[in-house]
């Protein structure tokens, strides 16, 4: 009995050290060595300051920016409180919010169909991407606010449009933070516009 107890305690100590300390350090070290950008959260820096991550959506306000999907995460885009709204398709609160978002989006395009991702939140609430259709819908507003033309913005959008993964997984998408940062670089905004 005593021999079995000692063996059990020693095995617990050895496996804890091996699997709880050595293995995680080894995997972390390999990740830092082989994939440093991914291992550190794909952080985006501007002038040496971290402004976000290409993996986490952010809210943008002001007409001079491309807007992200709505967020139900905490108070919006809260990476510590990710979730969808948990409201069913017949919930009046959800219906009213979507109707309001559609009306707001149609202010620049009266009667136009609004891309679904501009009025519905993702399951996580922090999706960093929108569809090319959602970008196209916002192009004329952003061009007008930036004092340029839609045709001059299109190459910028094309550079930020990602295709399907492995040519068949997912859908084409545009990372809103990366697009807006490049937009500020290529077409500086009016000082009255705001970014969050």
CA torsion, ordered 89, 91, 93, 99, to nearest 10 deg: 40
Same-domain pairing of 48 and 16? no
| 194 lies in some domain | no
Same-domain pairing of 35 and 46? no
| pLDDT band at 40; cut points 50, 70, 90 | confident
Same-domain pairing of 72 and 133? yes
Same-domain pairing of 52 and 67? yes
| pLDDT band at 46; cut points 50, 70, 90 | confident
How many separate domains does the chain show? 2
Q: How far is CA 162 from CA 105, 174, 175, in A?
A: 24, 6, 8
What is the mean pLDDT of the segment spanning 105-126?
87
Same-domain pairing of 34 and 47? no
CA separation for the pair 66, 61 (Å, rounded)? 8
| 191 lies in some domain | no
What is the mean pLDDT of the segment spanning 93-100?
90
CA torsion, ordered 153, 196, 99, 117, to nearest 10 deg: 50
| pLDDT band at 190; cut points 50, 70, 90 | low
pLDDT of residue 128: 92
Same-domain pairing of 34 and 71? no
Can you give the residue range of the structural domain that contains 93?
Answer: 41-186
Same-domain pairing of 51 and 77? yes
| 1 lies in some domain | yes
| 95 lies in some domain | yes
Same-domain pairing of 32 and 116? no
């Amino acid at each position: 009995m005593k021999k079995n107890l000692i063996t059990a305690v020693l095995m617990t100590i050895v496996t804890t050290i091996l699997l709880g300390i050595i293995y995680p350090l080894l995997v972390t070290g390999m990740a830092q060595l082989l994939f440093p950008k991914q291992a550190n959260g794909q952080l985006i820096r501007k002038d040496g300051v971290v402004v976000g991550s290409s993996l986490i959506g952010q809210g943008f306000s002001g007409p001079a920016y491309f807007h992200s999907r709505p967020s139900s995460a905490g108070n919006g885009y809260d990476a510590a409180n990710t979730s969808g709204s948990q409201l069913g398709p017949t919930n009046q609160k959800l219906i009213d919010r979507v109707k309001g978002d559609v009306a707001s989006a149609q202010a620049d395009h009266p009667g136009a169909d609004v891309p679904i991702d501009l009025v519905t939140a993702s399951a996580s609430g922090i999706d960093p991407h929108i569809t090319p259709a959602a970008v196209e819908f916002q192009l004329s507003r952003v061009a007008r606010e930036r004092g340029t033309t839609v045709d001059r913005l299109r190459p910028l959008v094309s550079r930020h449009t990602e295709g399907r993964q492995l040519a068949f997984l997912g859908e084409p998408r545009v990372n809103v933070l990366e697009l807006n940062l490049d937009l500020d670089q290529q077409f500086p905004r009016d000082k009255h516009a705001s970014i969050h």
